[in-house]
Amino acid sequence: MNLSYWEKEEWFSSVDFTIIGSGIVGLSTALTLRKKYPKSKIVILERGLLPQGASTKNAGFACFGSISEVLSDLKSHSEDEVLQLVEKRWRGLELLRNTLGDAIIDFQQHGSYEMFSKSNQLFESCKDQLAYVNKLLVPIFKDNVFRVIDNKFHFKKVKENYIFNQFEGQIDTGKMMGALLQLAYSKSIKILNNTMVTDFREEKEEVEVVLNSDYSFKTGKLLIATNGFAKLLLKEDVMPARAQVLITKPIDNLHIKGTFHFDEGYYYFRNINNRILFGGGRNLDFEGEKTTVMEMSQLIQKQLEQHLKETILPNTPFEIDHRWAGIMGVGSQKKAIVKQISENVYCGVRLGGMGVAIGSLIGEELAELI
């Protein structure tokens, strides 16, 4: 890097806090640090032109878990642990909404629907345990979360009933991230894009951060908020998980409203400006999707198109307008990793596909470790 004296002084000297990653977690961390340390110099380093992982690539689901996901979590977690997971997601959504405002992020609480294919026996199990799960979640929501409703959207190849969640909603991901970035800029937080951190070395009272292998600078504290890319810098239980998405061209008289999950949440879709955004299919190739490569898989894209044609829009002509992929961070546990790595290094990673829900809260918790 060929930097001038001015560039070094303004961006890379006397840095108090350096954050790697400008997604929801990274920006929320920076904003919390600014409240705690109003005179500090805060620099965010971002490898992409825009936040590279999932923050600007997700489907915009303001969700905390379908009934099948809650029941699945109860097989590997205690009731208290599952309750804590759901509560953290709900608190995180409230924090995001309070920080930016519902109008700015276009938050709409139309609820969510879990669909079940006709051959899937999971619906009966979920229906049988509906009262149990609702009772478990009452301390958080003070009301029943789930109920069975009819197939009012007339999707094909699915059972005649859905399970409806009245509390979930949707947001505009682009507006959310644009507002978070604008708020960070207004607080004099410096954000450098297209800046790859290749290594870091901890010294006695500070950390040396290596950029693009040919330049380094010193920072007082280093906070890593790279989620699905965490393995590039950390030895933690977090793996990348690619999520592929497509969106149709506008469709006249599109009657679908709300957010939808099926096949145990591995597929999800919603209406955005009279288009269908449809993503998922990672379960078709778990190993192949453990990647940070932002490319499409023909296997998964073909399956998404088939579900669109046969299940979601069986009698409606459509055209695919655009496709993309994002990188989530997952691991053996659902709980996010928020901890101090060493004397001056911290991390907040492994959001498990719930970045919109918990990202703001994880950023706040990460900053509070300092």
Res. 74 pLDDT band, cuts 50 70 90: very high
Q: Give the mean pLDDT of 244-249.
A: 98
Question: Is there a single domain that holds both residue 97 and residue 162?
Answer: yes
Question: Is there a single domain that holds both residue 280 and residue 155?
Answer: yes
pLDDT at 265 over 90: no
Percentage of the chain lying above the pLDDT 70 cut: 100
Res. 118 pLDDT band, cuts 50 70 90: confident
Question: Is there a single domain that holds both residue 301 and residue 338?
Answer: no
Q: Which residues of 185-223 are buried (b: 16+ CB within 10 A; e: fewer)?
A: eeeebbbeeebebeebeeeeebbebebeeeebbbbbbbb
Cα–Cα distance, 222 to 211 (Å, whole number): 13
Cα–Cα distance, 51 to 84 (Å, whole number): 28
Cα–Cα distance, 368 to 221 (Å, whole number): 13
Question: Is there a single domain that holds both residue 252 and residue 211?
Answer: no
Strands 112-115 and 259-262: parallel
Cα–Cα distance, 330 to 332 (Å, whole number): 7
Domain span holding position 308: 66-171+238-330
Tell me what pLDDT residue 313 has.
Answer: 95
Q: Give the mean pLDDT of 60-83.
A: 94
Cα–Cα distance, 90 to 63 (Å, whole number): 8
Q: Give the mean pLDDT of 267-289.
A: 96
Question: Is there a single domain that holds both residue 158 and residue 194?
Answer: no
Question: Is there a single domain that holds both residue 152 and residue 295?
Answer: yes
Question: Is there a single domain that holds both residue 49 and residue 71?
Answer: no
> Which CATH number does the domain housing residue 207 bear?
3.50.50.60
Are the beta carbons of 158 and 263 closer than 8 angstroms? no
Kindly report, residue by residue over 185-194, the tens digit of the pLDDT: 999 999 999 9
Question: Is there a single domain that holds both residue 251 and residue 162?
Answer: yes
Tell me what pLDDT residue 120 has.
Answer: 83
Res. 119 pLDDT band, cuts 50 70 90: confident
- Give the number of domains in the chain: 2
Tell me what pLDDT residue 212 has.
Answer: 85
Cα–Cα distance, 338 to 46 (Å, whole number): 20
Which run of H or E residues covers position 177? helix 173-186
Question: Is there a single domain that holds both residue 262 and residue 314?
Answer: yes
Kindly report, residue by residue over 133-160, the tens digit of the pLDDT: 999 999 999 999 999 999 888 899 999 9
Which residues have a Cβ under 8 Å from the Cβ of 182 and sit 6 or more positions away?
Answer: none
Question: Is there a single domain that holds both residue 159 and residue 256?
Answer: yes
Question: Is there a single domain that holds both residue 107 and residue 183?
Answer: no
How many angstroms from the chain centroid is the CA of residue 243? Answer: 11
Are the beta carbons of 237 and 359 closer than 8 angstroms? no
In the structure encoding, which two tokens stand for residue 262, read together?
């099926």
Q: Give the mean pLDDT of 19-40.
A: 98
Question: Is there a single domain that holds both residue 193 and residue 311?
Answer: no
Alpha-carbon distance values, 234 to 230, 285, 294, 341 (Å) = 6, 25, 21, 9
Res. 1 pLDDT band, cuts 50 70 90: confident
Beta bridge partners of 164: 113, 147
Res. 263 pLDDT band, cuts 50 70 90: confident
Beta bridge partners of 210: 199, 216
Res. 273 pLDDT band, cuts 50 70 90: very high
Res. 213 pLDDT band, cuts 50 70 90: confident
Tell me what pLDDT residue 291 has.
Answer: 96
Kindly report the number of other CB atoms within 10 A of residue 333's CB atom: 15
> Which CATH number does the domain housing residue 94 bear?
3.30.9.10
Res. 331 pLDDT band, cuts 50 70 90: very high
